[in-house]
Structure 1
């Protein structure tokens, strides 16, 4: 969910990317966001960014980030 820590990113998307590319997908939990990015990378073969709030948001996303690392999503190989 958009928060005050991400205002600069959203403003840049609107002002400099024409609010068209990239298109943000709003999720209600950081772990779901990271898992979606992981799944997209595995299926599409290209990366997807995931923005999380500092400290607590990163803690919530940590297991999904670990899963992406364990599946070697960073280099496109299968585990």
Structure 2
């Protein structure tokens, strides 16, 4: 996963599992005092999914929520900036 900076309120994440093990893409953070998580389904090798989100400016955590993948380094941040 790479760090991303997005200059828009809406982002389209096109996710493809090009590995051999199941993976997913999860975006999480806080809106005010409310925590949220948005994620693709778990993808098998070769599968694709799209996650479209509309978020206010801020930095959010992205990771693979499958097994211990986040602890193995499959994580990063996504920053939304004002368009």
User: What TM-score, normalized to structure 1?
Assistant: 0.26
Higher share in helix:
1
Higher RCO (CA < 8 A, seq sep 6+)? 2
Higher share in strand:
2
Structure with greater Cα Rg: 1
